[in-house]
Amino acid sequence: MSRKVWILRLTHRVERDKRVTTHLALVARAFGAQGMYYSGDQDMSLEDKIRGVVERWGGKFSIEYVDNPVQFTRKWILEKGQVVHLTMYGIPLPDVIDDIRRHDKILVIVGSEKVDSIFFDLATYNVSITTQPHSEIAALAVFLDYYHQGAEFKLDFPGAKYKVIPMEKGKKVVKLR
Query: Which is closer to a copy of itself, CB of 39 or CB of 112?
Result: 112
| CB neighbours of residue 154 within 10 Å | 9
Return the bridge partners of 82, or none.
Answer: 106
Cβ 7 to a copy of itself, closest distance in Å?
A: 13
| Binding positions for a copy of itself, rule: CB under 8 A | 16, 19-20, 23-24, 26-27, 29-31, 53, 57, 87-94, 117, 120-121, 126, 128-135, 137-142, 145, 150, 152-153, 155, 157, 163-164, 166-173
Cβ 70 to a copy of itself, closest distance in Å?
A: 16
Distance CA 146, CA 143 (A): 5
Q: Kind and range of the H or E element at 10?
A: strand 4-12
- How many helices (H) and strands (E) the chain has is answered by 6, 8
- Looking at 58-135, list the stretches that DSSP marks H as alpha helix, in order from N- to C-terminal side: 69-79, 93-100, 117-122
Query: Which is closer to a copy of itself, CB of 89 or CB of 104?
Result: 89
Cβ 93 to a copy of itself, closest distance in Å?
A: 7
Cβ 126 to a copy of itself, closest distance in Å?
A: 6
Query: Which is closer to a copy of itself, CB of 67 or CB of 114?
Result: 114
Distance CA 146, CA 76 (A): 23
